[in-house]
């Protein structure tokens, strides 16, 4: 399968692996090399993207709000949960500052050939990541909303 088809059909592979309450996730593909999943705030999204100049994928939760304080607040909140995240998802997860005041929680995994088997593997992993991280995000997002009042 092509790179384009791999990403375009990933949602139908990944979404059934999510708990039912998370299957309302929305999908967007702003560029051909990435696919994003969100729950109404497109700037706060889960993302699968190719890592430049490497045979690898980045699976992550990106905080790309224009509100740099919100991005940092979410990063700090996820860093407080990093031990439990790593306990659930593995030691490869990191939480760090990124570009333009953005932040992210992510891992880098090897990319293989664009096959249905690899797509299933990536889809399953992305579902595991969303299932683990989303309850933490919901709590942090509610805290941020209370602070902003």
CATH code (residue 62): 3.30.1460
R_g over Cα of the chain: 15
Residue 16 forms part of a structural domain: yes
pLDDT in tens, 54-80: 889 999 999 999 999 999 999 999 999
Q: Considering its fold, how many domains does the chain have in total? A: 1
Q: Which residue range forms the structural domain that includes residue 81?
A: 3-142
CB contact at 8 A, 61 and 48: no
Using CB atoms within 10 A of its CB, is residue 9 exposed (0-12), middle (13-18) or buried (19+)? middle
Helix (H/G/I), strand (E/B), else coil: 103:
strand
Distance CA 57, CA 26 (A): 20
pLDDT in tens, 86-136: 999 999 999 999 888 899 999 999 999 999 999 999 999 999 999 999 999
pLDDT in tens, 30-54: 888 899 999 999 999 999 999 878 8
Sequence-separated (6 or more) residues with CB below 8 Å from residue 117: none
Residue 148 forms part of a structural domain: no
Distance CA 122, CA 108 (A): 11
| Cβ atoms < 10 Å from Cβ of 45 | 22
pTM for this model (two decimals): 0.93
List the structure tokens of 68. 């740099």
Residue 147 forms part of a structural domain: no
pLDDT of the residue at 149: 53
Residue 149 forms part of a structural domain: no
Residue 60 forms part of a structural domain: yes
């Amino acid at each position: 399968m092509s790179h384009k088809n791999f990403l375009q059909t990933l949602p139908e592979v990944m979404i059934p692996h999510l708990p039912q309450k998370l299957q309302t996730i929305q999908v967007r593909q702003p560029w051909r090399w990435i696919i994003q999943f969100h729950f109404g705030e497109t700037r706060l999204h889960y993302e699968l993207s190719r890592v430049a100049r490497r045979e690898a994928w980045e699976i992550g939760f990106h905080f790309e709000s224009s509100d740099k304080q919100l991005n940092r607040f979410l990063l700090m909140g996820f860093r407080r949960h990093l031990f439990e995240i790593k306990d659930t998802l593995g030691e490869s997860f990191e939480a760090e500052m990124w570009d333009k005041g953005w932040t992210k929680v992510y891992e880098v995994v090897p990319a293989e050939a664009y096959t249905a088997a690899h797509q299933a593997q990536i889809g399953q992993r992305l579902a595991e990541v969303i299932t683990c991280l989303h309850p933490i995000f919901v709590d942090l997002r509610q805290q941020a909303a209370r602070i902003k009042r």
